[in-house]
Chains A and B, each alone.
Chain A
Amino acid sequence: MSKAMIGYILSIAALIVAIWLGVSVGSVKVPISTLWDTGADAIATNIVWKIRMPRVVLAGLVGASLAIAGAAFQGLLKNPLADPYTLGVSSGASVGAVATLFFGISMPFLGIYTLPVFSMIGALVTMLLVISFAKLVDRAMKMETIILTGIIFSSFLGSVISLMIALTGEELRQIISWLLGSVSMRGWSFVQMALPFVVIGTLLLWLNRRELNAMLFGEERAKHLGVNVKKRKMMILIGGSMLTGTAVAVSGTIGFVGLVVPHMTRLLFGSDNRHVLPLSFINGAALLIICDLVSRTIISPTELPIGVITSFVGAPVFAYIFFRQRKKGGN
């Protein structure tokens, strides 16, 4: 059996376990069978279907989106430290989302999708700016250059968000907790809001899995191999920004998922993007469901923002990858 095959089996198994734990564990223990048992206790059914399930599904979608977007950004930029968070793209999406709330923007033809769409636009614009600026600084776009540029944009956009919050007074205070990232109390409407974009974004990236493999050897090399780099790059940027924007719109800024998951996936199952992308998607979902579970149970009854958990795990992994790459002498 190939490494990738083992990867799919293990990852799907992990996802099933994560969903099972996510649904059944909590302040009230609920058997997983409630999901399909029509004769189950009405309160339990309510908890599972109205509270736990949407939360698990949303966490799964957000985790999957961030992870596959991270994997794609890393491939595109040949940079193992790239992820929506470290690139500043999440901050861009946040600005888009906060601005939507701040200015009370509502596009009738977009309806409930106004928020994610603006968030996506914020993400895409930031991504393009980060790449252009990094390229201006250093044509070779070294690993450190991109990450530094991401930090610059993150800091700047962070202050823009703070400014908007300060200006609005009380009613946007809730945004602060949202900014730290959370999937609690969102309900099915958020799932509905995210789902179409997650599907389209994932499809856009998956269609470019082989192109991403070629781009790992540089854009020039990819071009030599017959990849229409300009078009493919745009597809990947739009797909990645779409996923990031959606994730941020429904759950706030959750860091490092896009970094940790693809890294672990590559480490375990190889770096062929034909498998890294789908495996990151599955593992990202599993990881975020587990992180959410930990965040709501570890100091129960208080709930920690989920971003706290992911950063707690992600920052050391970030440091480790950075260390490894520098040792290796890669750029």
Chain B
Amino acid sequence: MLKIEGLSGGYDNKLIIKNVSFFVAKGEMLGILGPNGSGKSTLLKVISGILNMESGNVLIEGKPLKSYSSKDLAKKMAVLPQLHSHAFSHTVRDTIALGRYPHQSGLFSSWSIEDEAAVVEAMKLTAIERYESQMLDLLSGGEQQRVFVAQALAQQAPILLLDEPTNHLDIAHQKQLLDTIKTQAIEKGITIVSVFHDINLASLYCDRLLLMDQGEIKVIGAPHEVVTKDQIETVYEARISTNPHPERPKPQITILSDVNEKNNDKLITTENFQVTGELVVFQAETQLKTWSSAVTNAGSGWYRTFVNRRVDANYACDNVHEEMLEFLVNRGFSEADTVGMMTAVNTTDAVIKEYKTPFGNVVIMVTAGVGNAVDVSRTHEVEMLPAIGTINTWIIVNGELSDEAFIQSVITATEAKTKALAFEQVKDPRTGTIATGTSTDSILVAATQRGVHIPYAGPITEIGKKIGLGVYECTVEAIQIYKKAKGWD
């Protein structure tokens, strides 16, 4: 559809685009990325014929750009430039109707049925019918941008070039505009080339991305091939991290700040814990990076307060999450800051210990109720109603854990817990075999993300050793307390 061959060009005597080649297939959406001054807008201007090319070729449907007359080119390629202010005001309809210019000819260039249909459809697609007779300059920036999108769509060209179409728009308008354009690509097979400032939007909407660096192509490919930590950091000269989009297989980036915020150097100790008859509460001065399988604020996030709440053994509720939130809020905990778990054992029986490591302490908390202990290898044999059993394990680290270390911490802790159950000969009452855990165990791993960087947390790492030992010791002790309380011994 659109083929660029060895294109070089720029302003007067300054070459900005150097030897750029790529191909865009029909119905494809290509995003052009690059830092300020990397030449992405210039590239678009050379492709659209606004700036002259020094060398190379732009082929539209196999024919060179120069071979098209102004009107014929406009029939093939519509362009949406960046928003500008205007000295005179047109009505919305008149503005969109200008998109039909290339389709009209003759001295009086009468308005045809197709012209009218194209304008009406463009207004519908961009949801601006109700502004039809309003003056353009009375609309907000977002609405104006939609009018220009409509103008470009009314042109009914198979190729659409866009220059930062979402500039100055709020997120609702960004989404709406890109949804509209992407739908055109999917449904009508329109070929789209768009310059983006926002890497995340580009990654989310485009089929392929082109990363520009100083007028040249650094890389072109699928979003996951282009939006990588190394490439983005090199080209943009900014620290970032990548993470997956929650719904689509598209990478997203997060900017990493280099500003030193007021540091809290206080270490986490057992002093941070408070135990009442109802709750085990951990409170830190600043948020910790947390991974957990808790009831509220599970998953990963940054939280300051961890609550282990005692509930009756017969606790039953249709909406545990809601009930727990309500409980926490009633007790004065912040919804946004608190990770909440439940246990059926006495909170005063919680075992909380601190383990010294060369880089900072690891604090471990375990509450163990082994009434519903299960042997995970045999659970498939018996049917079981979910019941609150619950060994809750918290591991709080003074250090900076990598993502891998968080996951390895969970593995290490789970292995240590299973070992503790074996040592205590806790059995699955249904099968009579040694239990590996209970039916609803929960875990929380949190780290201050300050101090020493800890890349791994397997069993033979310094931290892994302490987690293994600590979780084992605490779980054994907690089980012994539980047994004593139940009078099992």
Whether chain B is bound by chain A comes out as: yes
Report how many residues on chain A are interfacial, defined by Cβ distance under 8 Å.
Answer: 31
**A214 close to B101 (CB less than 8 A):** yes
Q: Which residues of A contact B266 (CB under 8 A)?
A: none
**B74 close to A224 (CB less than 8 A):** yes
Question: Provided the pairs A226-B71, A226-B74 are in contact, do residues A216 and B155 lie with their beta carbons within 8 angstroms?
Answer: no
**B109 close to A217 (CB less than 8 A):** no
- In A260-296, the 8 Å CB interface with B consists of 266, 270-272
**B94 close to A330 (CB less than 8 A):** no
Q: Which residue of A lies closest to B109 (CB)?
A: A210
A228 at the interface (CB under 8 A from B): yes
**In whole angstroms, what is the CA distance A331 to B87 when docked?**
7
**B87 close to A217 (CB less than 8 A):** no
B430 nearest CB across to chain A (Å):
74
Q: Which residue of B lies closest to A225 (CB)?
A: B101
**B101 close to A227 (CB less than 8 A):** yes
A143 at the interface (CB under 8 A from B): yes
Write 11 A-B pairs (CB below 8 A) sorted by A numbering: A210-B101, A216-B86, A217-B95, A217-B98, A218-B84, A224-B74, A224-B78, A224-B79, A225-B102, A228-B70, A229-B70
**A78 close to B99 (CB less than 8 A):** no
**In whole angstroms, what is the CA distance A218 to B50 when docked?**
12
**In whole angstroms, what is the CA distance A272 to B102 when docked?**
18
A328 at the interface (CB under 8 A from B): yes
**A213 close to B79 (CB less than 8 A):** no
**A330 close to B87 (CB less than 8 A):** yes
Q: Which residue of B lies closest to A271 (CB)?
A: B88
Q: Which residue of B lies closest to A81 (CB)?
A: B87
**B73 close to A226 (CB less than 8 A):** yes
**A228 close to B88 (CB less than 8 A):** no
Question: Provided the pairs A223-B50, A227-B70 are in contact, do residues A214 and B87 lie with their beta carbons within 8 angstroms?
Answer: no
B87, B95, B101: the one contacting A226 at CB < 8 Å is B101
B85 at the interface (CB under 8 A from A): yes
- In B87-105, the 8 Å CB interface with A consists of 87-91, 94-95, 98-99, 101-102, 104
**In whole angstroms, what is the CA distance A224 to B99 when docked?**
9
A246 at the interface (CB under 8 A from B): no
**A221 close to B81 (CB less than 8 A):** yes
Q: Which residues of B contact A143 (CB under 8 A)?
A: 87
- In B271-310, the 8 Å CB interface with A consists of none
Q: Which residue of A lies closest to B70 (CB)?
A: A228
B85, B101, B109, B151: the one contacting A329 at CB < 8 Å is B85
B85, B99, B109: the one contacting A225 at CB < 8 Å is B99
A78, A223, A266, A272: the one contacting B86 at CB < 8 Å is A78
**In whole angstroms, what is the CA distance A330 to B73 when docked?**
30
A266 nearest CB across to chain B (Å):
7
Q: Which residue of B lies closest to A325 (CB)?
A: B87
- In A116-169, the 8 Å CB interface with B consists of 143
A216, A227, A229, A330: the one contacting B90 at CB < 8 Å is A216
Q: Which residues of B contact A266 (CB under 8 A)?
A: 88
Q: Which residue of A lies closest to B45 (CB)?
A: A220
B94 nearest CB across to chain A (Å):
6
**In whole angstroms, what is the CA distance A225 to B153 when docked?**
11
B162 nearest CB across to chain A (Å):
11
**In whole angstroms, what is the CA distance A13 to B368 when docked?**
97
B75 at the interface (CB under 8 A from A): yes
- In B57-82, the 8 Å CB interface with A consists of 69-75, 78-79, 81
Q: Which residues of B contact A75 (CB under 8 A)?
A: 88
**In whole angstroms, what is the CA distance A272 to B155 when docked?**
19
**B74 close to A225 (CB less than 8 A):** yes
**In whole angstroms, what is the CA distance A217 to B79 when docked?**
13
B88 nearest CB across to chain A (Å):
5
A78, A220, A227, A272: the one contacting B50 at CB < 8 Å is A220
Q: Which residues of A contact B84 (CB under 8 A)?
A: 217-218, 221
Q: Which residue of B lies closest to A328 (CB)?
A: B137
**A80 close to B87 (CB less than 8 A):** yes
A79 at the interface (CB under 8 A from B): yes
Q: Which residues of B contact A228 (CB under 8 A)?
A: 69-71
**In whole angstroms, what is the CA distance A270 to B88 when docked?**
10
**A330 close to B86 (CB less than 8 A):** yes
B49 at the interface (CB under 8 A from A): yes
**In whole angstroms, what is the CA distance A227 to B72 when docked?**
10
A80, A213, A223, A331: the one contacting B98 at CB < 8 Å is A213
Q: Which residues of A contact B81 (CB under 8 A)?
A: 218, 220-221, 224
Q: Which residue of B lies closest to A331 (CB)?
A: B85
**B87 close to A216 (CB less than 8 A):** yes
Q: Which residue of B lies closest to A274 (CB)?
A: B94
Which 4 interchain pairs have the tightest Cβ spacing? A226-B74, A226-B102, A224-B79, A228-B70
Question: Provided the pairs A220-B81, A225-B155 are in contact, do residues A78 and B69 lie with their beta carbons within 8 angstroms?
Answer: no
Q: Which residue of A lies closest to B155 (CB)?
A: A225
Q: Which residue of A lies closest to B100 (CB)?
A: A225
**A214 close to B88 (CB less than 8 A):** no
**B86 close to A217 (CB less than 8 A):** yes
Q: Which residues of B contact A271 (CB under 8 A)?
A: 88-90
> Scoring B residues 32 to 69 as 1 if CB is less than 8 Å from chain A, else 0, what string do you get?
00000000000001001110000000000000000001
B188 nearest CB across to chain A (Å):
19
**In whole angstroms, what is the CA distance A330 to B78 when docked?**
26
Question: Provided the pairs A226-B74, A226-B101 are in contact, do residues A272 and B87 lie with their beta carbons within 8 angstroms?
Answer: no
**In whole angstroms, what is the CA distance A270 to B133 when docked?**
11
Among B50, B70, B87, B107, chain A packs the most CB atoms within 10 A around the CB of B87
Q: Which residues of A contact B69 (CB under 8 A)?
A: 228
Given contacts A213-B90, A217-B98, could you give 9 more A-B pairs where the C-beta distance is less than 8 Å? Answer: A74-B88, A216-B87, A217-B84, A217-B86, A220-B45, A223-B49, A224-B81, A225-B101, A272-B91
Q: Which residues of A contact B70 (CB under 8 A)?
A: 223, 226-229
**B48 close to A224 (CB less than 8 A):** yes
Q: Which residues of B contact A207 (CB under 8 A)?
A: 107
Q: Which residues of B contact A79 (CB under 8 A)?
A: 87
**In whole angstroms, what is the CA distance A270 to B91 when docked?**
9
**In whole angstroms, what is the CA distance A75 to B101 when docked?**
17
Q: Which residue of A lies closest to B72 (CB)?
A: A226
- In A64-78, the 8 Å CB interface with B consists of 74-75, 78
Q: Which residue of A lies closest to B152 (CB)?
A: A224
Q: Which residue of B lies closest to A231 (CB)?
A: B70
Q: Which residue of A lies closest to B68 (CB)?
A: A226
**B87 close to A78 (CB less than 8 A):** yes
**In whole angstroms, what is the CA distance A218 to B79 when docked?**
13
